[in-house]
Structure 1
Amino acid sequence: MFRGLANRTVFPALSSASTRRFISVQSLLHGSPEAKKAGELEVQQHSRLVARGKYLHGFEVHRVKPDSTDAYKKAAEKYYSAIKDDPKLHVKLTGSWETIVGELDTFLHILEYENYDGYDKSTALIRESDHTKAYKEMLPFLTSRSSQLTQEFAFFPTSPPRDQGGVFELRSYQLKAGALLEWEHTWRRGIEARRQFVAPVGAWFSQVGRLHEVHHMWQYPNLAKRKETREKAWQRDGWAETVSKTSQLANHMDSFILVPLSFSPLK
């Protein structure tokens, strides 16, 4: 970390014009206040263009010891049901799932907050309440955990609570930096081909945590019906083009098959 101080490079004296050019280059390399402000503004504009409403969704991923999944489920139900039902928190539990194809022994919980201010207030209240004790009851069963804050795409609002049964598919895309707006535009045009056969559960793009990431979720009666539905969509005009264009915008993508936990509002 301090290695550069031991071998400092001495630069020759610069003329005033050279000094200005040098400062300009340094600003470009290290990020001038103006450049940083412009970059932040661009991100905000993109978010406003593609996001729906004021809601913020927290993705909480828990990786559990293989021999502790049953104990974990009981502890998770206690915690997530409690915060969902606490009227002071204004937190909605969109759903809770277990992965059965993909990263096994992995659980996903999606929480809905009233934007960043609501997130700040809700998480502060949780830390100051007995809910913290319930959360800590899950920790002995975990091998790792991660979180991400996301917003909904305007064209893809999250489904309300329902009980349809079957399986869920979560598809996650790590986009190339700067590709979010193009991805959204392409999906907005092509999504109707899929809507004719299956209603989407929701779609989100990351705001905090791992950036340049997009998720969308679907629900099917079973994997055989999933295969049939996807094959029908490929026969519709526009869908093949949508998939081709969006795949070029992604560095990599994942598909996970999930089943809802007993207390999940979406199941």
Structure 2
Amino acid sequence: MLGSFTAFARRAALCKILHQPTLPWVLSSPFGTGPQQDTGTIFELRTYDIKPAKTKECMELINRDIRFRLAHSELIGFWTAELGSMNTVFHIWKYDNFAHRAAVRKAIASDKEWQGKLSAILPLLKTMDMEIAYLVPWCELGTPPKEGVYELITYQQKPGGPALWGQSFKAAIDAHVRASYAKLIGVFHTEYGLLNTVHVLWWHESADSRAAGRHRAHEDARVVAAVRESVQFLESQRNMLLIPAPFSSLK
């Protein structure tokens, strides 16, 4: 105990010299000195709610004309919600950095052909939401083994960022990955939008295989323990089962 107190006192003294708070985790947190998010590549996550009874018309236009938008930047995936939401599409775009995104947005605004196509789509939308996110440093963008369905789980974490909840959140994700209940595609931490939000994208062979895996996860003591530790930092969560569009890179 004396040794621990002495170590703390030394850290406190150093913090005072540096004009830093005297909290013991300031100097020892693995999220303060460990891998950091790539501040180059960014991902734009867009969620559009389509007006009721207009989904079929809207998707027909998008399927026909999306090639004009694809000429400007890389589409990671485009999906329609099958379960968890109605009349909703979700898509992810990749940019090298913020300057790249700004250049693309400028080019899109000057693209009269795409703007003409877009003018027919916009009246069919009820709401549009956009977030900018990074992949977390311990996750690379995955690829599915074959065509299937996707599950997007959105976690609203307690304020404080990864320094507060990152380690337990990673442990919960790792427990599911090790159990092979699903294929992890990406873990995205929001930089612009609702902060302390994490979107986790999983691939499943089918909705039934997802249900079976979910059932096994509930009986896996390792997964249950990791989730129990993580939920203490959770405010809310929701999910959607997603069907990839024909032009989606992730199928």
4+ aligned runs moved over 4 Å, structure 1 = 234-237
- Evaluate the alpha carbon distance shift between residue 189 and residue 251 of structure 1 in structure 2; reply closer, same or farther with a 3 A threshold: closer
- Taking structure 1 as the reference length, what is the TM-score of the superposition? 0.73
- CA gap 1:247/1:233 in 2 versus in 1, 3 angstroms: same
Matched, 1:246 2:230: yes
Give, in angstroms, the shift of residue 224 of structure 1: 2.2
User: TM-score, length-normalised on structure 2?
Assistant: 0.78
1:10-67 per-position Cα deviation (integer Å, ceiling 9, x unaligned): xxxxxxxxxxxxxxxxxxxxxxxxxxxxxxxxxxx97x94424621111111111221
Deviations 1:61-98 (A, max 9, x none): 111122111211122234533222x2xx3x21011111
Could you say what secondary structure the match of 2:194 adopts? coil
Query: By how many angstroms is 1:215 displaced?
Result: 0.4
Q: CA offsets per residue over residues 167-207 of structure 1, 9 Å max, x none?
A: 21100011111143343322333433322313201110111
Matched, 1:57 2:58: no
The structural deviation recorded for 1:239 is: 2.1
Percent identity between the aligned chains?
20
Match of 1:178 in 2: 160
Once superposed, what is the RMSD of the aligned Cα atoms? 2.3
Question: Looking at CA atoms only, which structure, 1 or 2, has the larger radius of gyration?
Answer: 1
Asked if 1:264 corresponds to 2:222, the answer is no
Letter in 2 for 1:124: K
Match of 1:149 among 132, 155, 161: 132
Confirm whether residue 133 of structure 1 aligns to residue 116 of structure 2. yes
Partner AA of 1:260 in structure 2:
P
Distance 1:98 1:176, change over 3 A: same
2:92 is aligned, of 100, 106, 110, to 110
Which AA in structure 2 matches 1:143?
Answer: K
Q: Which amino acid aligns with 1:102?
A: G
Distance 2:170 2:157 in 1: 16
Aligned partners of 2:183 and 2:204 also within 8 Å: no
Q: Does 1:168 align with 2:150?
A: yes
Amino acid at match of 2:234: A
Q: Could you say what secondary structure the match of 2:54 adopts?
A: helix
Gaps of 5+ in 1: 1-44
Q: Out of 214-223 and 190-199, give the one that drifted further.
A: 190-199
**Contact 1:50–1:181 (8 Å) recurs in 2:** no
Aligned with 1:124 (options 84, 106, 109): 106
* Matched letter for residue 169 of structure 1: E
User: Would the aligned equivalents of 2:175 and 2:226 in 1 still touch at CA under 8 Å?
Assistant: no
1:203-252 per-position Cα deviation (integer Å, ceiling 9, x unaligned): 10111122221100111122221122233344555422321222221211
Distance in 2, matches of 1:157 and 1:118, equals: 21
The answer to whether the aligner puts 1:219 opposite 2:203 as a matched pair is yes
CA 1:180 to 1:80, structure 2 compared with 1: closer, same or farther past 3 Å?
farther
* Structure 1 counterpart of 2:230, one-letter code: T
The answer for the alignment partner of 1:231 in structure 2 is 215
Structure 1 residues 79 and 109: CA distance shift in structure 2, 3 A: farther
Larger CA deviation: 163-172 vs 115-124 = 163-172
Equivalents in 2 of 1:201, 1:235: separation in Å?
23
Q: Which residue pairs with 1:38 in the alignment?
A: none
Whether the 8 Å contact between 1:170 and 1:255 is mirrored in structure 2 is yes
